[in-house]
Structure 1
Amino acid sequence: MTDNCPAPFNMAAYVLAAGALTPDKIALEILRASGAERWSFARLESAVRGTGTGLAALGLPPGARVLLRLGNSVDFPLAYLGALAVGLVPVPTSTALTAPEITTMARALSPALVIAAEGVALPDHPAPVLTLNALRAMRDLPPCDYDMGPPDRAGYIVFTSGSGGRPRAVVHAHRAVWARRMMWGGWYGLRRDDRMMHAGAFNWTYTLGTGLMDPWAIGATALVCEPGAPLGLLMRRHDATIFAAVPGVYRQLLDRARMRALPRLRHGLSAGEKLPDSTRAAWNAATGTRIYEALGMSECSTYISGSPARPAPEGALGYPQAGRRVTVLNGDDGILAIHRSDPGLMLGYLGPDGAPHLPLQDDWFVTGDRVKQAPDGAITYLGRDDDMMNAGGFRVSPLEVEHALAAHPALDDLAVTDVEIRPGVWIIAAFYTAASAVDDAALMGFAAERLARYKQPRLYRHLPTLPRGANGKLSRRALRAQIKADDDRA
């Protein structure tokens, strides 16, 4: 269980404090097929505080939102922590987002500044844009003072797809990073001497938290690979002790290469989507290490998990982490809910008035995750209680995808859902009615102009009608059954 967050508090100061005890230790290695970019804790903090000085000099008001449009380079965490250090509110976003997508987000966000790398889609918004060169020039400025304040003030914002079809801005307090200490023992088994490798991009909250902020907060080393780098080889070459990824990455590593024993690896971590038992077993057989799984969401990071200290029983996902305030509504077989007092729960969704609003049901935030709880507290995950899709660990609203594709002039009616194409592998599929079938390549090109790659359907199916009930409600379950029936006939 974590103690109460100290006050006053600043997220950036906290994340970098442990590293100050070992200033020459390597905090970050960005791994490439040949070589690595290395940053010591001393160099990291100097660059963060210099960046803070540069951002503060821009004259932005306290609490102003800074939209980050940066790739998988050290510039991302430097800008993120630099903004936090001086009381600004960074908003990490994926570089895969298209101009229409990021414009929609910017309208909801009203950022005071956009920090962008060259070639990344920018929003149609009047906020000034800080270039990468200008950002990098700030690193060598004198160090800023940390803006210390109430732990409950807004710290950062992330976007998540809501069931209503539009991305929702999730506002987190500075204290959210302190609450992540519950994961150190409840999921990671994290130690100061660990070398945590994460397979994701910096701008994904899973990488940002599990791959960077948490290792640094305990004084451990973070290893992040450049896109396309050979993960298995680099895991061995750079002595990773913990590996974190989504299930799809574990599958790819097992499929693409003959995984060998990893003598320094203690265990793996998995989150983002359900880990198939077959993948878990194959990884254990190939490497001799276990994978510990966690359930979480952008609104509260992870809160149910197995761990080296308390592995999940067979068939179960894990246990509520010590210090979490969660329950299962409607008995032991129902919907997970998080109490408003949970220290890691968001402040709320950003509302039209610019303030966060936390939707509650009798003091509980209802997650939409259907589970079954055993007498010993173990949680078995049964799936979502809504139509949200899972695309490689990203939750995607079918309504958002449908809205983007509905503009195609040849389509009369349209629906999307996720479908299982082989055990444990899910993709987004689009089903449509039209006077005649539309070329799949044309539909894929249309989607690529409007949606990030992870939101784009990988399968298109022309149907005479879409399945609807007597009340006219679309049946996504029937759409999934259509794919299964076609596969059985094949």
Structure 2
Amino acid sequence: MLSIFDQGAFTPCPTPFNLAAHVMRHAASQPDKVALSVLCPDGSDDWTYGALDAAIRGTASGLLQAGIAPGQIVLMRLGNTVDFPLAYLGAIAAGIVPVPTSSQLTASETQKMIDELSPAAILRDPDVACADHPVQIDIDALAAMRDLPPADYARGDPDRMAYVVYTSGTSGKPRAVAHAHRAIWARQMMVDGWYGLTPDDRLCHAGAFNWTYTLGTGLMDPWAIGATALIPEPGTDLGDIPALLQAHKATIFAAAPGVYRKFLGSPDRLDLPHLRHGLSAGEKLPRELHARWTSATGTELYEAYGMSECSTFISSSPAHPSRGEALGQPQPGRKIAILGPDGPVPQGDEGTIAVHRSDPGLMLTYLNAPDEADAKMQGDWFLTGDQGAMAVDSQITYLGRDDDMMNAGGYRVSPVEVEDALAKHPRITQVGAAQVEVKKNTFVIAAFYTGPETLDEGELRAYVEANLARYKQPRAFVHLETLPAGGNGKLLRRALPAYFKAQ
């Protein structure tokens, strides 16, 4: 048998359609139910479905009144506050295309985005770095828009562009991934295929409002089913989150593996009486960490695999637990294969994980780089660049990248982007970047460089802080006489970690 999962397509997305309207579809029937609680030690700041819907549609009115037309792009430079999802959904409600970005980006990094996107406006918190742009709508103006008369949701073709997210490409240049309104419809496959989510759940996500993992799993997906989202207030120490989970009766918890590792630093059992299970994504979940969580909480932990181009599509779940080292299986409604050069490989063989072009969650294209998007297609299959093997029961085991992409706290980072930034340093002649293991299952980005002398580490840290977002910055710097290279003189990045271990 070949490595193909296809149990039938998911229900087609209706038309006309609007992503934000789908997220808020329960607001009319349950306006007084709490949709969002921002958690703090002495209580919470609560938003009902009615208040949330009004704020989103008021923001839509304000953006249209500001002269931004449906179909135009706005770049989001907002911090870790509720302003972020309100502005994001407000733009989509109006048919405007938001581009959420990490607040850690530097001004020079945003300049490249502005040059590529030509946004109609910047939605801006003045405390968040951003290059100059003639039209900037500040956070106070955005807040004032919430009280405007609500706009109607702009419904239309579900295949039209709804939003854009940036992902690091193997070329080192971040790519603008364009998604359709139908992407939110596709996320319903995660409800049973990963979350085990019900309208009665209280789902807490440990991430910041302005992280796309939080935006999808922590906010939009609970709202789309009529559940309650819980988000710790900005600045909350990770060590305080277990107490918040207990106090606010969280039933599901979502985070990256690093957060679970932080929780389990103490040998004490975690007292979470209301928790049904946890969710993990962003990077590979080590089996020993999974086992420690189960032992400490008495609950399961379900892992998901995905990417910016298609969100998550392989996962374990309460209905389909993972087996052994496997990630899980493709979510019902997906069409997934493991490909070799000639197509799907036999079950059990290694190949590249691929998503069929018919998946409603698959991106539209890379903006301004359609040829690069086409290059990732093999016939009707989108190649993820990750290796895996599919068993006879459709469970998929993750076998690593087939390129040199790194993972820093749940963010995928191209080594080329890190190398390009450091190569501009006047006293560095050559540089290579790689992910290294500093202790068991803990990885950081390291930069290996050549030059006349070993440079002061404090100077290098200051240099990368000015030129790279925090999650892209190397945490270690290693001076070498020469960098490892192949017979053709090409840098061998996969040989670099050995030099780190030898230090």
Q: Identify whether the pair has TM-score above 0.5, normalized to the shorter chain.
A: yes
Is 1:402 the counterpart of 2:419 in the alignment? Answer: yes
Question: What's 2:59 paired with?
Answer: 51
- Aligned equivalents of 2:352, 2:371: Cα separation in 1: 30
Q: Is the 8 A contact 1:349 1:358 kept in 2?
A: no
Question: What's 1:252 paired with?
Answer: 262
| Equivalent runs, 1:15-26 vs 2, <5 Å | 15-26=23-34
- Aligned equivalents of 2:20, 2:267: Cα separation in 1: 39
Q: Is the 8 A contact 1:51 1:82 kept in 2?
A: yes
Q: Is the 8 A contact 2:26 2:49 kept in 1?
A: no
Q: Is the 8 A contact 2:10 2:334 kept in 1?
A: no
Question: What's 1:159 paired with?
Answer: 166
TM-aligned CA deviation for residue 209 of structure 1: 0.5
Q: Is the 8 A contact 1:19 1:217 kept in 2?
A: no
Aligned partner of 2:403: which letter?
D
Identity across aligned pairs (percent)? Answer: 58
**TM-score by structure 2 length?**
0.94
Pick closer, same or farther for the CA change 1:214–1:358 going to 2, 3 Å.
Answer: farther
Aligned partner of 2:177: which letter?
V
Task: Show CA shifts across 1:311-364 (max 9, x none).
Answer: 010111000111112110021310011111111100010016999878422121
Task: Show CA shifts across 1:199-231 (max 9, x none).
Answer: 111221111100000000000001111233221
Between 1 and 2, higher relative CO (CA 8 Å, sep ≥ 6) is seen in 2
TM-aligned CA deviation for residue 261 of structure 1: 2.5
TM-aligned CA deviation for residue 385 of structure 1: 0.7
Question: What's 2:357 paired with?
Answer: 340
How many matched pairs?
485
Task: Show CA shifts across 1:83-118 (max 9, x none).
Answer: 111110011111111101111112111111111112
Question: What's 1:374 paired with?
Answer: 391
Question: What's 2:492 paired with?
Answer: 475
- Aligned equivalents of 1:324, 1:468: Cα separation in 2: 41
Q: Is the 8 A contact 1:53 1:144 kept in 2?
A: yes
TM-aligned CA deviation for residue 168 of structure 1: 0.5
- Aligned equivalents of 1:294, 1:64: Cα separation in 2: 33
Pick closer, same or farther for the CA change 1:370–1:428 going to 2, 3 Å.
Answer: same
Pick closer, same or farther for the CA change 1:107–1:327 going to 2, 3 Å.
Answer: same
Is 1:62 the counterpart of 2:75 in the alignment? Answer: no
Task: Show CA shifts across 1:154-189 (max 9, x none).
Answer: 001000000010110000000000000000000000
Please point out which of 446, 451, 467 is paired with 2:463: 446
Task: Show CA shifts across 1:53-90 (max 9, x none).
Answer: 11111222220011111112111111111111111001
TM-aligned CA deviation for residue 273 of structure 1: 0.5
- Aligned equivalents of 1:450, 1:274: Cα separation in 2: 28
| Equivalent runs, 1:63-462 vs 2, <5 Å | 63-126=71-134, 128-229=135-236, 230-255=240-265, 258-330=268-340, 331=345, 332-351=349-368, 359-462=376-479
Task: Show CA shifts across 1:224-259 (max 9, x none).
Answer: 112332211111111111100000000011116844
- Aligned equivalents of 1:241, 1:404: Cα separation in 2: 43
RMSD (CA atoms): 1.6
Q: Counterpart of 1:191 in 2: which secondary structure?
A: coil
Q: Counterpart of 1:335 in 2: which secondary structure?
A: strand
Q: Counterpart of 2:388 in 1: which secondary structure?
A: strand
Q: Counterpart of 1:135 in 2: which secondary structure?
A: helix
Task: Show CA shifts across 1:269-297 (max 9, x none).
Answer: 00110111111111111111111000000
Aligned partner of 2:293: which letter?
W
- Aligned equivalents of 2:287, 2:376: Cα separation in 1: 34
- Aligned equivalents of 2:197, 2:417: Cα separation in 1: 37
TM-aligned CA deviation for residue 485 of structure 1: 3.5
Q: Counterpart of 1:21 in 2: which secondary structure?
A: coil
- Aligned equivalents of 2:338, 2:321: Cα separation in 1: 21
Give structure 2 stretches of 5+ with no counterpart: 1-8
**TM-score by structure 1 length?**
0.96
